[in-house]
A and B are shown apart, each in its own frame.
Chain A
Amino acid sequence: MGDLANTVASGLPGAGEAGLRATLEYIKDGIFIDAKGVVVDANAAACSQLGRARTEVIGAGVATFSGRAGFQWSSVVSRLESEPHLSYQTTHVHKSGTRVDIDLTLTRMPTQGSYLYVGIARDVTERARVEEELRQSEQRFRTLTSNLPDLVVRLDREQRYTYVNPVFVAVSGIPLESALGKTNRELGLLGDQLELWSAAIQRVFDSKAPTRLEDDFKRSDGSTITWDAQIVPERAESGEVDSVLIISRDVTERRLREEELHHKNDELTRFTYTVSHDLKSPLVTIQSFLGFLVEDAQRGDAERVARDVSFIKTAADRMAALLTDLLQLSRVGRKQSAPERVPLSELLNEALSMVAGRIAQEKPSIVLTSEPVSLYGDRLRLVEVFQNLIDNAVKFASTVPAPRIEIIAERVEGEIVIRVRDNGIGIDPRHQHKLFGLFEKLQPEIEGTGIGLALVKRIIDVHDGRIWIDSAGPGQGTTVSFTLPATKREES
């Protein structure tokens, strides 16, 4: 005993050995004095780190406590010949067998022709544990964000990417290593969009409160993707926000559905309005002529009475026809029979036989230009589509000297496109958008309630197809085209 205090005290004039020993005992770092690879002295902290009594520590070989396999005292000695001190992380072994992580600093001091070696061992087990926990937590974060369907990125205070998950890489087409350390501007975000995002991110840093942003981006293939982004502050221990996490969900599909729903709602509003309007019109007639009828009957004007009754009858018939059509339209939405593949030629033959009367009367030439195709859907409904379109075409063409109706079917990008074309009266482009509306009749002299195209559109809608009208204008003929996703369904 006494080496430690003596040695150190010799360089500190006026400090007694006892005082110095007491001081060393209070130091939280373990202090070992070694000579020739054997511990010659150790303070209380050193003994505590090893879980041993001082008597067990002093006199023991340094290698006994080292957690490192192949520890060589001689290498320490030789390194300290050329370096003033050594510092490294290592482990000591506690008496219980557990390892104690330490930061070890070694120096040597000359003494009586030889050297004493002083080791200062700081227990960093807690720090190592915290670091390990942090590493694991970071690992869990990455495992989570790598497997999320959402896009997750982290940005530092300079708005540089410090993390991007695989969804970011997949959607943006920017590789991980190109994204890290970059700002949005450096990654090519431009103009208003750059402003929008920079401002929103900065707001989160400043306010320390999360914010939300919905925005459209162009995919690498040119299509649009809508992100619903949550920008969340991440606080450091100091309470300052040193990074933000942006978690973005692809809401493209939801947005489309919402728009579709909105569109359907508008359609329903228009429908309700049209129905109430169109049913009200004959009602006005009936009510008024009932009034006139009473007056005319009181006057005994038989001629006028007959005229009143005739107006009432026409209006009542019109109401009945509208109601029948409405019922028919409401039934289209309900699946009546199982969908099946039907050759186009069969559908056309059935439809033509149903409008045979009008065809015999107007005698149009009817031409079919088509490769052999089959349509997939509700057979009766598809016949109704052709029946209505051919019937319309014959009516529209009845005004020209050589009425001609052409039916063209072709495959275009996995869809079947069918066109029914006539050389008749045509439609002013300004009115074409109205044609699929309920009870829309642009030509009052042509018979019918005006439900035909509304019905056709509804059937095509139910079959997931599209329908549109082309006409260069009055006198230029009309083409009604529709698609059915036939190929895809045939294969499935």
Chain B
Amino acid sequence: MKSTAAPISILLVEDDPAHAEIVLRNLTKLRDRVKCIAHLSDGQQALDYLQREGQHSDPESSPRPDLVLLDLRLPRVDGFEVLRRMKATEAVSHIPVVVLSTSEAEDDIAAAYQTGACSYLVKPAEFEAYIELIRGFGHYWSDLNRFHGA
């Protein structure tokens, strides 16, 4: 099925450059459905971007994403704190957040959902599984977005 709607825009928050590149390369395979509008490598930058503060104060250069793909272990401000503050900020509290983490700890998963994550994805160690995961993620959210937009 060929998509006719605009691809959904994603903000990627990931401190590990290798992990960020894995996600970005996998996302390019879905470029008609998903588009990464920004990649930030710590929690504070992500909050500045979303709340349009500091170097991201210009709304032109910091368009609001349709979705945030968020790592948990982040420098300065960790992923849980980013989630908490997003949910407490009216302008961005509606943006769905999907957590993407290596952690399979039940505590982390439960805490992420409690703090307001829409979904929790565990980074797979296998290449094929990773491709599959990002493909599934992209299709689900772009379909959902189209449905909502219709």
Given the contacts A280-B102, A287-B126, A288-B127, A443 and B18 also touching, CB distance less than 8 Å: no
Judged by a CB distance under 8 angstroms, whether B115 is at the interface is: no
Residues on the B chain within 8 Å of A444, using CB: 15, 42, 75
Q: Looking across the interface, which residue of chain B has its beta carbon closest to that of A296?
A: B25
Residue in contact with B25 in the complex, picked from A277, A292, A443, CB distance below 8 Å: A292
Residues on the A chain within 8 Å of B18, using CB: 285, 288-289, 311, 314-315
Measured CA separation A171–B22 after assembly (Å): 66
Judged by a CB distance under 8 angstroms, whether A2 is at the interface is: no
Measured CA separation A312–B73 after assembly (Å): 21
Measured CA separation A273–B105 after assembly (Å): 8
User: Do residues A288 and B102 form an inter-chain contact, with CB atoms below 8 A?
Assistant: no
Q: Looking across the interface, which residue of chain B has its beta carbon closest to that of A428?
A: B76
Judged by a CB distance under 8 angstroms, whether B21 is at the interface is: yes
Judged by a CB distance under 8 angstroms, whether B60 is at the interface is: no
Residues on the B chain within 8 Å of A443, using CB: 75
Residues on the B chain within 8 Å of A289, using CB: 18, 22
Residues on the A chain within 8 Å of B124, using CB: 284
User: Do residues A288 and B22 form an inter-chain contact, with CB atoms below 8 A?
Assistant: yes
Q: Which of A283, A284, A443 has the most CB of B within 10 A?
A: A284
Which residues of chain B (29-68) have a CB below 8 Å from chain A? 42
Measured CA separation A441–B22 after assembly (Å): 23
Q: Looking across the interface, which residue of chain A has its beta carbon closest to that of B21?
A: A311
Judged by a CB distance under 8 angstroms, whether B150 is at the interface is: no
Q: How far is the CB of A312 from chain B (nearest CB, A)?
A: 9
Residue in contact with B127 in the complex, picked from A277, A280, A291, CB distance below 8 Å: A291
Q: Looking across the interface, which residue of chain B has its beta carbon closest to that of A288?
A: B22
Which residues of chain A (416-443) have a CB below 8 Å from chain B? 441-443
Residues on the B chain within 8 Å of A284, using CB: 19, 22, 102, 123-125, 130
Residues on the B chain within 8 Å of A292, using CB: 22, 25, 127
Q: Looking across the interface, which residue of chain A has its beta carbon closest to that of B131?
A: A291
Judged by a CB distance under 8 angstroms, whether A281 is at the interface is: yes
Q: How far is the CB of A268 from chain B (nearest CB, A)?
A: 14
Residues on the B chain within 8 Å of A251, using CB: none
Judged by a CB distance under 8 angstroms, whether B90 is at the interface is: no
Residues on the B chain within 8 Å of A288, using CB: 18, 22, 127, 130
Q: Which of A281, A289, A290, A442 has the most CB of B within 10 A?
A: A281
Given the contacts A443-B75, A444-B75, A290 and B22 also touching, CB distance less than 8 Å: no
Q: How far is the CB of A315 from chain B (nearest CB, A)?
A: 6
Judged by a CB distance under 8 angstroms, whether B145 is at the interface is: no
Q: Looking across the interface, which residue of chain A has its beta carbon closest to that of B103?
A: A277
Measured CA separation A447–B125 after assembly (Å): 25
Q: Looking across the interface, which residue of chain B has its beta carbon closest to that of A445?
A: B75
Given the contacts A288-B22, A442-B75, A444-B42, A281 and B127 also touching, CB distance less than 8 Å: no
Residues on the B chain within 8 Å of A441, using CB: 75
Q: How far is the CB of A116 from chain B (nearest CB, A)?
A: 100
What is the 8 Å Cβ interface bit string for chain B, positions 68-111, against chain A (1 contact, 0 not)?
00000101100000000000000000000000001101000000
Measured CA separation A444–B76 after assembly (Å): 8
Residues on the A chain within 8 Å of B102, using CB: 277, 280-281, 284
Q: How far is the CB of B123 from chain A (nearest CB, A)?
A: 5
User: Do residues B105 and A285 form an inter-chain contact, with CB atoms below 8 A?
Assistant: no
Residues on the A chain within 8 Å of B25, using CB: 292
Which residues of chain A (265-319) have a CB below 8 Å from chain B? 273, 277, 280-281, 283-285, 287-292, 311, 314-315
User: Do residues B19 and A285 form an inter-chain contact, with CB atoms below 8 A?
Assistant: yes
Given the contacts A273-B105, A444-B75, A291 and B128 also touching, CB distance less than 8 Å: yes
Known pairs A277-B73, A292-B25, A311-B21. 12 more at Cβ < 8 A? A277-B103, A277-B105, A281-B16, A284-B19, A284-B124, A285-B16, A285-B19, A288-B18, A291-B127, A291-B128, A441-B75, A444-B42
Question: What 6 pairs across the A-B complex have the smallest Cβ distances?
Answer: A291-B127, A285-B18, A444-B75, A288-B22, A311-B18, A281-B102
A-B contact pairs, 17 of them (CB 8 A): A277-B102, A277-B103, A277-B105, A281-B16, A281-B102, A284-B123, A284-B124, A287-B125, A287-B127, A288-B18, A288-B130, A291-B128, A291-B130, A292-B25, A311-B21, A314-B18, A442-B76
